[in-house]
Chain A
Amino acid sequence: MTEELVVDVDTLREQVREKYREVAVAPHSEYHFHTGRPLAGKLGYDAAIVDALPDRAVESFAGVGNPFSLRAIRPGERVVDVGSGAGFDSFVAAALVGRSGGVVGVDMTAEMLEKSRSTATQLDYSRVEFREGFAEALPVEDGWADVVISNGVINLCADKRAVFDEIRRVLRPGGALQFADIANGRPVPPEALRDIDLWTG
């Protein structure tokens, strides 16, 4: 099924990259959203897990909810984090799956990937891997994941149907999609939907 896209995919991706490049390199600047440890606390993340993470794993966190709140990640599970950013949710998932599990974070922003990969090295987390890619074309084999997580990312994708189709492809039968995202209670006017600046803030 084809869905009419209201914005240009490549233009939106570049604007999203630009915004989150800033969040990666200047996490303590002021943004239209909250970031870091205060945000993780506000969203109800497990304090013991967050407290154990180094600042660089948490400071660029810019999620909009808690993807772990409706279902617990189990030891040994294989998790894909769509739009992993600087890796915060991937590292939380890694703590939950333990040494017998695995986590693959996927992001399209070079600065975020550089940060998440160096943090994984610092933590000696060999069970976490970060790969470059798009939500609509995940670099993960069919049916690999027990769980797919994401946080505040799908709303930034122009073709949401393509994202959900791709998530379904990488999940095993019976696998779980648990994500957090924003939704609006009032309709956004069509002219605002086409204003790409509003998608990123």
Chain B
Amino acid sequence: MLEDTGFTDVRIGPPVDTFAGATGEEKAHAFEVFGYAFLARKPERERG
């Protein structure tokens, strides 16, 4: 979706098991939910 909305140079960091040890862990693991860092850039020139 980032690229669909005009962002470029998208990078995604490694997954973090952010719910591990919390009460939401079971539900998170059921759907393989992890936290990620994302980086994207607004182009210098917008697409026409």
Q: Which residues of A contact B (CB under 8 A)?
A: 1, 30-34, 42-43, 63-67, 69-71, 152, 160-161, 164-165, 168, 171-186, 188, 201
Check A178–B39 contact: CB distance below 8 A: yes
- Within 8 Å CB of A185, what residues of B? 31-34
Task: Give Cα A168 to B40, complex, Å.
Answer: 10
Q: Which residues of B contact A172 (CB under 8 A)?
A: 42
The majority secondary structure among interface residues of chain B is loop
B19 touches A32 (CB 8 A): yes
Interface, chain B (partner A; CB < 8 A): 1-2, 4-7, 11, 13, 16, 18-19, 21-24, 27-28, 30-46
CB of B5 within 8 A of CB of A70, answer: no
State the Cβ distance, A145 to closest chain B Cβ, in Å.
9
Instruction: Please report the C-alpha to C-alpha distance between residue A172 and residue B39 in the assembled complex, in whole angstroms.
Output: 15
CA distance A176 to B35 in the complex (A): 19
**Pairwise interchain contact A161-B5, C-beta atoms closer than 8 A:** yes
Chain A, residue nearest B24 (CB): A32
Inter-chain CA distance A179–B33, complex, in Å, is 16
Tell me, in angstroms, the Cα distance from A33 to B23 when the chains sit together: 7
Chosen A-B contacts, 10 in total, with CB atoms closer than 8 Å, are A32-B24, A34-B21, A34-B22, A65-B16, A173-B42, A173-B46, A176-B39, A182-B36, A183-B36, A185-B32
Distance in angstroms between the alpha carbons of A1 and B6 in the assembled complex: 13
Contact present for B43 and A65 (CB under 8 Å): no
The answer on a CB contact under 8 Å between B36 and A180 is yes
> Is there an interface contact between B24 and A33, defined as CB atoms closer than 8 Å?
yes
Chain B proximity of A144: nearest CB distance (Å): 12
Please indicate the chain B residues that have their CB under 8 angstroms from the CB of A42 in the complex. 16, 18
What residue in chain B is nearest A171 (Cβ atoms)?
B42
- Cross-chain contact A69 with B44 (CB below 8 angstroms): no
Q: Return B4 CB to nearest CB of chain A, in Å.
A: 7
